[in-house]
Structure 1
Amino acid sequence: MDSSPREPQRLSALYQYHNAPEVAPAHGLEYDDTVYPSSDKYPVIHERLYEGKLSGKYGFGGDNRPPRIIFGMKVRTFLVVASVMVLVIVGAAVGGAVGGQQLRENQAQTMYTNGTNAPASNPSASTSSGPSPTSTFSAATPTYTPLSDCPDSNNTAYTSSFSKGSSGDTRKNAGLHFTKYCDLSNPLSTDGAQRIAEAFVYSFSDCVEVCAGYNFWNDGSNCTVAVYQSGGGRPGNCWVGNAGDIQASSLNETQGTDVAILTTS
């Protein structure tokens, strides 16, 4: 009987006794020739761990973890796309600001070119003021009908509201008292008469107030006549001026024309 020690049989796969074809051992499953006292039917797995990864002779060659993904893109791709988007947004904002400024300057230049009123030749004035506006605004026209208090007010005295102190100094009483006459010719159409102002009013008294207001603010009696035509249209149905020492008796009868003459006494 051979008393030489028995050499252990070399393991070739997961199990020692089988008739199946041999295959390459899985990664981490290696041959082991060491004699174990209990059983050598099972393979020995040598694992060398380092920070959660297989390393060394039996470890993996690289990091097989999946790459980091942001919005479906790799980190580098995401950073490139984000940088491009930021540049596009900044460029659009700057371009919009510059374009808006250029548009305003072009509109201002167009308004100035098409305008009928040129700016003053004074350099300081042209620098501080912008181009003359060319657009117009049409306000709603009142639909009131001008009224006449004739013939009831014929040959009656009228005192301006300025004499009541509602607008300032009550001592300015010169040129505030008138006499109304109905259906007389226009004294401002005579030779030597001077027209001071024209207005569109809605009553005979309003027309007289235009003349009285001129006298009040100029502290005199330069306006002596107010002529009112209730049937007149815009821009004026009231004319005020200076007709000298005109007398109502010297005027002819004219339907639709009312005259107020300044009272000198």
Structure 2
Amino acid sequence: MLAVNSIIQEALELTSMVGDGEAADGTLAASTLGLLNRVIARLNNDNYFSSTQDYTDVGAGGKIYFKQLEEGETFESSDGSACVNMEPPESIAGVSRKLGIRWLQLLPSNPRDQMAMTSWSLPTTYSYGFKFEKAPSGKDRMVGEVLLNGNAHALIRVFMNHRLPKYSITDNMAISPLYHDAILYSLAVAICEKYKLKDYQPEMERQKDAALSVIDVNTLNNRALNSGLVNQESYMDSYFNGLGGNGLSL
């Protein structure tokens, strides 16, 4: 566990924005917290935390939506689609369908090609995109949409690269100490850029690059697992698919 306020204090001391042991005032701490969340967003986008994958299981046919529902809001479906109540991920690592006692990987596709496929069946392909809609409060919100080429109901597992959330000053980061230096020195570089600390920036950049290289080396084998053999078919697949049109639910 890495404490957010500890990372902020350490980065400010490294860049001499505060003296050793001197606590940052509220304004400086809040400003640095904003820099920290931007740094984390950048590391998320660069997939530095993708050695861990999250997933969610949902029973659906045709479409799966990712959107943050407002208080008291419910999702109503008349076409077999389903909704996952969360902010839409920027990307998904893969989609699988429950088939007997295993998960069959679906093939990535695009909506145009999927529209030309038969939809009265179990899905074999998926695509992912975004759209905007009005929430009940009238605010605009982004919605992630997983489009499946089959409308038959199935248990679907959507894989997403693990991402760090937006933090507050009193939060703890539930991540390995391996990421401490990467976050710390990335934040120090952001502080140097904001406050024009030219004397400190080269060393902070060097330390940041070294820390990110350590992550690359340590997670190389795990990152390779993000893609592998797809659609490993079994001679039993036709049998499982035929059981009620959905396969066994084990």
Which one has a larger percent strand, Structure 1 or Structure 2?
2
Question: Which structure has greater helix proportion?
Answer: 2
So what's the TM-score if we normalise by structure 1?
0.17
Scaled by the length of structure 2, the TM-score of the pair is 0.17
Greater relative contact order (CA < 8 Å, ≥ 6 in sequence): 2
Of structures 1 and 2, the larger Rg is shown by: 1
